[in-house]
A and B are shown apart, each in its own frame.
Chain A
Amino acid sequence: MHNTVFSLKEVHFSYLGKFPALVAVDIDIKPGEKISIIGANGSGKSTLLHLLDGLIFADRGILSFCGKELNEKNFNDVEFSRNFRRKVGFVFQNPDVQLFCPTVKEDIVFGPLQLGLAKEQMHRRLEKLVTILGIQDLLNRSPNQLSIGEKRKAALASTLIIEPEILILDEPTAGLDPQTSRHIIDLLIEENISGKTIITSTHDLHIVEEISDLVYVFSSDKKIVKYGEPEGILNDTALLKANNLVHIHSHRHKDKVHVHPHVHLDHHEGEH
């Protein structure tokens, strides 16, 4: 395998050519790494993930996958495109976007069918996944009838069934209850232990440490302001505050008013 899966050099992207969404982004992602992208709303996290999945292309700079540039020309090559889609899986932020078929089962097998996976293999993977995610009862239901947690699990299954080497996830725990959130995090950790590269964008700082070897912080001017190991990033309160990732929290304990930054990191256990 190539020693970097994704390499971004001075990558710029703007919408309609005039609204910058990413400015001079440099990132190298190695196989098997866990990468987190954190930043406030509108800082360019989702745009970066769409670029990594070859859904949009950089205006300037070079973005390559295993040494080959990701551009429209290369995606016109059926072999390259199919190979890329087999290796890279993307879980969208809004599961309603990803679940477009009339039933959950059809949604889950959509990817393998397009990628020409053998039927037997597809059914084997489907059985394994529904057991792991506990979604057996959802298979013949319409996505309309599911809760947000069930939709996220179904969307995750529809990507995991491809068994991609690189898994890209856009806010995978947004809006989920703690138990479902934990289930998904555990699953991602297991996928990483089995050798998969995991790239996640999130605001949810309390999951960052578990799902990252490296954390990239995006600022509101769509640039990377800092990157490093999760511990260093999460302890840099000034950086998190400057980038709208923490807020000042004031509350009362009996007759004492208590003010401190609220990091959503450990829900201030031990501070009380």
Chain B
Amino acid sequence: MKKNARKRDFIERSLIGILSFLKGSLFAEEHALKSGFMQSLDPRIKILTFAIFIIATLLAKSILLVLSLYLLCLFLACISKINLGFFLKRTWVFIPLFSLFIALPALFSNFTPGEELFSFKFAGLALVITRPGGLTVLLFVLRVATTVSFAVLLSITTRNFELLRVLRIFRIPQAFVMVLGICYRYIYLFIGVIENTYFAIKSRVGTAMRYKRGQQIVGWNIAFLWVRSYQLNEDVYKAMLSRGYSGEPQVLNNFRSGLRDWLWLIFVGVIGICIIRFFH
């Protein structure tokens, strides 16, 4: 019985955790609404400059250069009023550490021969860490951390709908961008529906539920959600028709770029060219 209760508790915690993660990561815009440097830039130029930074990071072969780009990213986070502790946690917790584990074998002389830096025995095996191996792993991890940091900085300082709208500059069809926008809008609504349905079930059946019964309830709810989304789909289409939609959506395009945006673009462009030309 206790084991079952723990299992249910696990399911409940997972469900609530997933829903709150989705809400927090997809819909929380607290950093994008701050009045920092990154938030003040035209999203089109911001995306372009971040693409330059990421490409430059990937092409740079010097650890010092990648480290400089990483420090620049941290500086940009600071002047964008992003808490550095939060930013480091967000950027280092998963991907760079994961990449460290992937790159770990490259440290050793078996994969990267060269000047010995350090040697030790592990489970009877003599392992030698080489200098080129260490530098390769350091460059790889630093590169991953820098690109992830730039990507995270872009996503947390830009409102989601602006990121979607910028897709248009890449000549992605208007209808596709609009469908993405509608999806983004209604995912939140359905998260609410799932949460409320879960609490409604919990309030009626309490905690004692057999495994089979639980499966049935989950099955009904998937079906219910599907029917709800189908109805919503029809109603939204009617609402679009009612306001003159005829198959070719026209949308608001009110991006504005000022002197500060152009100066920033020139600055980043110069950095990008220098890295590609002189350090590649």
B71 contacts chain A at the CB level, 8 A cutoff: no
Alpha-carbon distance A78/B241, docked complex (angstroms): 12
A-B contact pairs, 7 of them (CB 8 A): A53-B242, A92-B238, A100-B182, A100-B186, A102-B185, A110-B240, A162-B243
A89, A98, A102, A116 — most chain B CB neighbours (10 Å): A102
Stretch with Cβ within 8 A of A (4 or more), from B57-65, B132-140, B248-256, B261-269: B248-256
Task: Say whether, besides A102-B181, A144-B188, A97 and B160 are in contact (CB < 8 Å).
Answer: no
Cβ–Cβ contact A97 & B236, under 8 A: yes
B175 contacts chain A at the CB level, 8 A cutoff: no
A55 contacts chain B at the CB level, 8 A cutoff: yes
CB distance from A47 to the nearest CB of B (A): 12
CB distance from A167 to the nearest CB of B (A): 12
Cβ–Cβ contact B244 & A142, under 8 A: no
Cβ–Cβ contact B189 & A96, under 8 A: yes
* Neighbouring B residues of A144 by C-beta, 8 Å: 27, 185, 188-189
Q: How large is the interface on A (under 10, 10 to 19, 20 to 34, 35 or more residues)?
A: 35 or more
CB interface residues, B 212-246, toward A, < 8 Å:
232, 235-236, 238-246
For the residues of A in contact with B, the DSSP-based class is helix
Cβ–Cβ contact B181 & A55, under 8 A: no
For the residues of B in contact with A, the DSSP-based class is helix
A94 contacts chain B at the CB level, 8 A cutoff: yes
Which residues of chain B have a CB within 8 Å of any CB of chain A?
27, 160-161, 164, 181-182, 184-186, 188-189, 232, 235-236, 238-246, 249-252
Question: Which of B184, B186, B236, B243 contacts A114 (CB under 8 A)?
Answer: B243
Question: Which of A82, A96, A98, A106 contacts B244 (CB under 8 A)?
Answer: A82
Question: Which of A101, A113, A115, A159 contacts B185 (CB under 8 A)?
Answer: A101
CB distance from B256 to the nearest CB of A (A): 14
CB interface residues, A 76-116, toward B, < 8 Å:
78, 81-82, 85-86, 89-90, 92, 94, 96-103, 105-106, 109-111, 113-116
Question: Which of B161, B241, B244 contacts A103 (CB under 8 A)?
Answer: B161
* Neighbouring A residues of B164 by C-beta, 8 Å: 102
Alpha-carbon distance A53/B188, docked complex (angstroms): 29
Cβ–Cβ contact A114 & B244, under 8 A: yes
Cβ–Cβ contact B160 & A159, under 8 A: no
* Neighbouring B residues of A172 by C-beta, 8 Å: none
Cβ–Cβ contact B252 & A105, under 8 A: yes
Cβ–Cβ contact A113 & B250, under 8 A: yes
Cβ–Cβ contact B242 & A85, under 8 A: yes
Cβ–Cβ contact A111 & B244, under 8 A: yes
A96, A99, A115 — most chain B CB neighbours (10 Å): A96
Alpha-carbon distance A158/B244, docked complex (angstroms): 12
CB distance from B23 to the nearest CB of A (A): 9
Cβ–Cβ contact B160 & A100, under 8 A: no
* Neighbouring B residues of A105 by C-beta, 8 Å: 252
Cβ–Cβ contact B244 & A115, under 8 A: yes
CB distance from A32 to the nearest CB of B (A): 22
